[in-house]
Amino acid sequence: MRLKNSNRPGRSSGPSKTHIAIEEIKARLEDKRQPAVFLSARDVVRRTTLSRAQIYRMVSQGTFPNPVAVSPGRRVWVDAEVSEWMKKIVDERTYGWPS
């Protein structure tokens, strides 16, 4: 059995970058565990002022969040994802970079 040698050169005694990244991902997942608010296509049209056809076109191009199938004939969007997309659009305009 090989023991971990913490005195090896080049090794720090603090948490690794991987450990820190994993902890950040866990924190984000815990934030997203809140109940999701769903938006219908009509709600998304109202919030974004895009047409229904434009929304589906952007979904197929990968530039708009994908809808979630909540039943075989019903697709909805997650409110937080649409809000994040809207924030990204404003940030790109305001600051010139994607958020």
If one counts the domains in the chain, the total is 1
Nearest to 81, CA basis, from 55, 57, 54, 52 = 55
Which mean pLDDT values do the consecutive 10-residue runs of the chain (99 residues) have?
A: 55 65 70 79 97 97 95 94 94 74
Residue 46 lies in a domain: yes
Residue 52 lies in a domain: yes
The CATH number that applies at residue 90 is 1.10.1660
52 with 86: CB under 8 angstroms?
no
CA-based diameter of the chain, in Å? 63
Residue 14 lies in a domain: no
Edge to edge, what strands does the sheet with 38-39 contain?
Answer: 38-39, 74-78, 68-71
Domain ranges, residue 71: 38-95
Residue 11 DSSP class: -
What pLDDT was estimated at residue 15? 67
| Whether pTM exceeds 0.95 | no
Residue 45 lies in a domain: yes
Strand partners, 74: 71
